[in-house]
Amino acid sequence: MQRTNVCVCIYTIGGAKARSNLKSKEQRRAESVESVYQNSNMRGSADLHHHESDIELIAPENGTKLSAAESKAGTDVVHNKEEEEADYVEVTMDIKGDSVALHSVKTVTETDMGDEKQCLTGKKTSFGASVVQNATIRIKKLKRLASFSKPEPAEQLERTKSAMAHALTGLKFISSKADVAAGWSEVEKQFHSLTATTDGYLPRHLFAKCIGLNEESKAYAEKLFDTLARQRGIQEGSINKIQLREFWDRISDQSFNTRLKIFFAMVDKDADGRINEEEIKDIICLSATANKLPNIQKQAEEYAALIMEELDPDNTGYILIDNLETLLLHVPEETTKVETKYLNQILSQKLRPIFEENPIKRWYRDTKYLLQDNWQRSWVFGLWIGVMSGLFAYKFVQYRRRAAYDVMGHCVCMAKGAAETLKFNMALILLPVCRNTITWLGNRTKLGAFVPFDDSLNFHKMIAVAIAIGVGIHAIYHLACDFPRLLHASDEKYKLMKPFFGDKPSNYWYFVKSWEGVTGILMVVLMAIAFILANPRFRRNRTKLPKPFNKLTGFNAFWYSHHLFIFVYALLIVHGTKLYLSKEWYKKTTWMYLAIPITIYALERLIKALRSSIKSVRILKVAVYPGNVLVIHMSKPQGFSYKSGQYMLVNCAAVSPLEWHPFSITSAPNDDYLSVHIKILGDWTRSLKEKFSQACQPAINGQSGLLRAECLKGDNSPSTFPKVLIDGPYGAPAQKYREYEVVLLVGLGIGATPMISILKDMVNNFKAMEEEDEFSIEEGSPMTNNQKDTRFNDFKTRRAYFYWVTREQGSFDWFKGVMNEVAEEDRRGLIELHSYCTSVYEQGDARSALIAMVQSINHAKKGVDVVSGTRVKSHFAKPNWRSVYKRIALNHPEARVGVFYCGPSTLTHELHQLALDFSHNTSTKYDFHKENF
């Protein structure tokens, strides 16, 4: 690499009006440097074989052109005639191959240039002047050598094509993707709205809101305001519309050089052209606040020292703009390689559905895809609808042929048909919540291949809707049609009904006060309460009611109201035995429908009570983590066998002796303990945290968590720990991951819990397979693929992609140990780990530029990510899920990929739709499985 010093003289012809008189020296210097840099980049690659410089210098005294020694570098000198006084700029550039990178820029006086001018021009001066000049030159030269004669950095990055592409998207102050003109129109509207009472002047504290930045970025925006105001000599704390437009043009400028200068000026508080460690620390704190990264803010001093160590190896105490540029334009090599590797493949893939103009073909194609993707649900749903339709038709026809039809008409047929479907659905709705039965059928029988047991909860909700419709039809036709027709029937017609109703009733109250009327009305009221409080708006506390009605929302209200079903079934049995039109016992079929489901459900509850009391657990460790997460490690009961991805029920009598809550198991099946991570969201979890927090102390000596308690090996749980009961395990969609060779695991927030158990299980299985291979090689008889398949016949997974998306930096503490363990133990790179922190602005945003810089340096030096605190380097903002699916499809053509998602329903539709799109339009097939909470 050749480093070339270029001396530039900037001056104006005497007597001419200088247009730039209002510009500061700093501005003129920046413009000159940019011009030099652009010229050298355009023309510096013509003749760079001997790494010499051909320099032209225009002397200010007489304008004589001065020529240097012959050279073939072809580096141009930019001369600017806009100033009466001559300013010299010393530019040092690094030349390597066909690239030119700016190394340093320094303004020097004419005296400083004496030695260089004499060398170039050969012009002699008088002896006296020469002595003074030489003394001055030597002193200046020593100072210059002290600051510029540095060892060459280990890796000086030039603005190659990759760096230029990176620069186009880097250091953006405005995150909006809209064009500048459209963005300004929105800013202008905000300006008029915010300055309606301030005489057209925008105060500094409203600048963030005006340009569309959020409240967290307010301090950052004020820093940006101060920088732009300082550059324009604005002393007041407010600006008018014209000045705002100037600010907007600067921060939305597409030139990376412009954005770099603004960013440098933001860091350089004293505007001396140099950045010291304290200034870097301040901007790191500001960036950490804007990105909600409290841990980085606490360690800002350490990270500032890290940047200085990297960019100032000679300990001069400052860094220059070119040093900052070098680091900001760093492009990871692997990113470039990946883009190059897949570019041609991506262009050749048909990843989007093709629109079919023919409506018949389009309908056929959509129907085919619908059945292919939902064939299990389709046949179960069709069977259910068919059975209900058959029962309704059977009762309708039966009563159509009875005497009651002559008096009450079709009303009695509709009411009885709906009643028959109600009996069927009231029996069926209990089965999807029989967890032990569902888990056994799904894991131990062949039915799991044909019946979607993972959708049992959704089926339970569908049945509830059918019950609501049936109740409506049954009640309306009885109350609004049958009973009025009986009251208004003629005496001759009523004789047909006398064996069933007795003497003709005189008023409507006769029907309401009967056993049938009272039990029916009570059932409707209780079911309505349970149905309303099960709505997500009430169950998740989204509806805020005034006191004391606020107790009617939340999980506790849902749980207790749902257990009103005990009274509903008791009333249903009474209602079914006190029938008007059926007197024979064998025609009263309600008990026949309910007998088996109620027995199964009662046995389920009995088994759970016995199992939880027999399989007692001992609390081993408790920790409270940032983000309101309680982690409980407990002893593993003898005989408790489970699969990764499954969940168990947890009960704490100190909080509520009746409530059992489901939580995914985060420990691996091979671990000698059980663990759960509990997010504090509702009343029960909040009370549980309070009970355990009383036994905890602040973490010390590098222990994880905010609060922590741990019993010594062999000791019993501290008496201060509340007693915990568990029941399970129960089946969940994620447990099917073993059926796929390639899996995509996605966890949103606390939804990563089942995936953590899966990752640990994968590592254990991969290690076991490696050890078995090594053992067989030592024995001299390597295992064949068939033997491996037999040994691990239920574990087919050979490649995994894990994406964990969370909003808070503190969330990474939940699974820090597991992430590090997986990264270390996965020697063959079979598990690809990705963690995303959505509170950090996307790559290229000026607010996250220094965070990305610190992240790269720290990870390269120490192997630890500054955001997550793990060995896994985290990403900023949200993943591009289409790109994720695309990359997996290109890596694994002709494969069937299992996609497992756990988290809120907000991401379910997007991931499911992408799975369908790629399955229909590529050779890679995606099977989507979800678990929402």
- CATH number of the domain residue 717 falls in: 2.40.30.10
Is the pLDDT score of 469 beyond 90?
yes
Question: Where is the domain boundary, 580, 604, 628?
Answer: 604
779 and 919 in a single domain? The answer is: yes
SS percent in the chain: helix, strand, coil, step 5: 55, 15, 35
Task: Give the residue, 524 or 197, on which the prediction is more confident.
Answer: 524
Position 180 scores a pLDDT of 56
pLDDT band, very low/low/confident/very high, at 498 (cuts 50, 70, 90):
confident
Task: Give the residue, 33 or 516, on which the prediction is more confident.
Answer: 516
Contact assessment for residue 42 and residue 100, using Cβ atoms and an 8 Å cutoff: no
Domain membership of residue 745 (yes or no) is: yes
Position 785 scores a pLDDT of 55
pLDDT band, very low/low/confident/very high, at 778 (cuts 50, 70, 90):
low
Position 343 scores a pLDDT of 45
pLDDT band, very low/low/confident/very high, at 111 (cuts 50, 70, 90):
very low
Question: Where is the domain boundary, 577, 604, 631?
Answer: 604
Position 39 scores a pLDDT of 42
Q: Could you read off the pLDDT of 549-595 as tens digits, one per residue?
A: 777 777 778 888 888 999 999 999 998 888 777 777 778 888 899 99
Q: Cβ neighbours of residue 825 under 8 Å, at least 6 residues apart?
A: 763, 766, 767
Own/partner pairs, 408-416, CB within 8 angstroms, 24+ separation:
408/481, 408/482, 408/485, 408/486, 409/481, 409/485, 411/477, 411/478, 411/481, 411/482, 411/485, 412/477, 412/482, 412/581, 414/473, 414/477, 415/473, 415/474, 415/477, 415/478, 415/481, 415/482, 416/581
Residue 539's nearest CA partner among 513, 557, 563, 520 is 557
User: What is the C-alpha separation between 913 and 917, in angstroms, rounded?
Assistant: 6
Q: Cβ neighbours of residue 515 under 8 Å, at least 6 residues apart?
A: 574, 575, 578
Q: Cβ neighbours of residue 240 under 8 Å, at least 6 residues apart?
A: 200, 201, 202
Mean pLDDT over residues 227-255, rounded? 86
Is the pLDDT score of 113 beyond 70?
no
Task: Give the residue, 330 or 23, on which the prediction is more confident.
Answer: 330
Contact assessment for residue 731 and residue 723, using Cβ atoms and an 8 Å cutoff: no
722 and 746 in a single domain? The answer is: no
Contact assessment for residue 8 and residue 91, using Cβ atoms and an 8 Å cutoff: yes
* Percent of the chain residues topping a pLDDT of 90: 16
DSSP 158: P
Is the pLDDT score of 269 beyond 50?
yes
Position 107 scores a pLDDT of 53
377 and 401 in a single domain? The answer is: yes
902: left (phi over 0), alpha (psi -120 to 50) or beta: beta
- Cα–Cα separations (whole angstroms), residue 566 to 180, 570, 604: 64, 6, 15
Cα angle 413, 415, 420; round to 5: 95
215 and 200 in a single domain? The answer is: yes
Instruction: Provide the CATH number for the domain around residue 745.
Output: 3.40.50.80
Decide: helix, strand or coil at residue 836.
strand
Position 615 scores a pLDDT of 65
Task: Give the residue, 498 or 186, on which the prediction is more confident.
Answer: 186
Q: How many CB atoms lie within 10 A of CB 586?
A: 7
Task: Give the residue, 833 or 442, on which the prediction is more confident.
Answer: 833
Residue 327's nearest CA partner among 311, 316, 305, 312 is 311
Is the pLDDT score of 463 beyond 90?
yes
Q: Cβ neighbours of residue 20 under 8 Å, at least 6 residues apart?
A: 28, 82, 83
Which neighbouring-strand residues pair with 675?
633
Is the pLDDT score of 23 beyond 50?
no
Position 119 scores a pLDDT of 38
User: What is the C-alpha separation between 781 and 923, in angstroms, rounded?
Assistant: 37
Question: What is the rounded end-to-end Cα distance, in angstroms, of the chain?
Answer: 59
Q: At what angle do helices 410-428 and 565-577 cross, to 10 degrees?
A: 140
Exposed / middle / buried, residue 426 (Cβ in 10 Å: 0-12, 13-18, 19+): buried
pLDDT band, very low/low/confident/very high, at 305 (cuts 50, 70, 90):
confident
Domain membership of residue 352 (yes or no) is: no
User: What is the C-alpha separation between 307 and 855, in angstroms, rounded?
Assistant: 10
Domain membership of residue 864 (yes or no) is: no
Mean pLDDT over residues 384-409, rounded? 89
Q: Cβ neighbours of residue 642 under 8 Å, at least 6 residues apart?
A: 648, 665, 669, 728, 729
Kind of pairing between the strands at 99-108 and 65-67: unpaired
Q: Could you read off the pLDDT of 809-850 as tens digits, one per residue?
A: 888 888 888 888 888 888 888 899 999 988 888 777 778 877
User: What is the C-alpha separation between 117 and 123, in angstroms, rounded?
Assistant: 8
- Cα–Cα separations (whole angstroms), residue 360 to 363, 368, 679: 5, 12, 50
Instruction: Provide the CATH number for the domain around residue 332.
Output: 1.10.238.10
Position 676 scores a pLDDT of 93
Mean pLDDT over residues 282-309, rounded? 85
540 and 417 in a single domain? The answer is: yes
743 and 883 in a single domain? The answer is: yes
Is the pLDDT score of 105 beyond 70?
no
Q: How many CB atoms lie within 10 A of CB 436?
A: 19
Q: Could you read off the pLDDT of 876-916 as tens digits, one per residue?
A: 888 889 989 999 998 898 899 999 999 888 888 899 989 98
Contact assessment for residue 711 and residue 633, using Cβ atoms and an 8 Å cutoff: no
Cis amide bond preceding 754, omega within 30:
no
Which tokens go with 167?
């620069």
Is the pLDDT score of 339 beyond 50?
no
Task: Give the residue, 303 or 350, on which the prediction is more confident.
Answer: 303
82 and 199 in a single domain? The answer is: no
Is the pLDDT score of 97 beyond 60?
no
Which neighbouring-strand residues pair with 663?
648
Is the pLDDT score of 477 beyond 60?
yes
Q: Cβ neighbours of residue 652 under 8 Å, at least 6 residues apart?
A: 688, 691, 722, 723, 724, 725
Give the count of domains, the chain: 5
Longest Cα separation, the chain? 145
Domain membership of residue 157 (yes or no) is: no
* Domain span holding position 47: 2-149
Decide: helix, strand or coil at residue 558.
helix
**pTM here?**
0.71
Domain membership of residue 155 (yes or no) is: no
Domain membership of residue 47 (yes or no) is: yes
444 and 487 in a single domain? The answer is: yes
Mean pLDDT of the chain: 75
Which tokens go with 482?
């049958």
For residue 340, which phi and psi values (nearest 5 degrees)? -65, -40
Decide: helix, strand or coil at residue 107.
strand
Position 264 scores a pLDDT of 85
Domain membership of residue 336 (yes or no) is: yes
Task: Give the residue, 256 or 646, on which the prediction is more confident.
Answer: 646
469 and 545 in a single domain? The answer is: yes
pLDDT band, very low/low/confident/very high, at 275 (cuts 50, 70, 90):
confident
Which tokens go with 678?
């509990």
Question: Where is the domain boundary, 683, 713, 731?
Answer: 731
> What dihedral angle (degrees, nearest 10) is formed by the CA atoms of 198, 202, 208, 213?
90
Q: Could you read off the pLDDT of 864-881 as tens digits, one per residue?
A: 888 888 888 888 888 889
Is the pLDDT score of 428 beyond 60?
yes
Task: Give the residue, 828 or 20, on which the prediction is more confident.
Answer: 828
Q: How far is CA 73 from the centre of its chain?
A: 51
Position 718 scores a pLDDT of 55
Domain membership of residue 852 (yes or no) is: no
Is the pLDDT score of 164 beyond 60?
no
691 and 828 in a single domain? The answer is: no
Task: Give the residue, 868 or 124, on which the prediction is more confident.
Answer: 868
Per DSSP, helices labelled H in 114-217 are 114-121, 127-148, 161-169, 180-194, 207-210
- Written as one string, the DSSP assignment of 253-267 is -S-HHHHHHHHHHHH
578 and 544 in a single domain? The answer is: yes
Which neighbouring-strand residues pair with 898?
743, 927
176 and 222 in a single domain? The answer is: yes
Position 295 scores a pLDDT of 83
Which segment, 379-383, 574-578, 716-720, is predicted with the most confidence on average?
379-383
Residue 869's nearest CA partner among 812, 831, 825 is 812
Q: Cβ neighbours of residue 491 under 8 Å, at least 6 residues apart?
A: 504
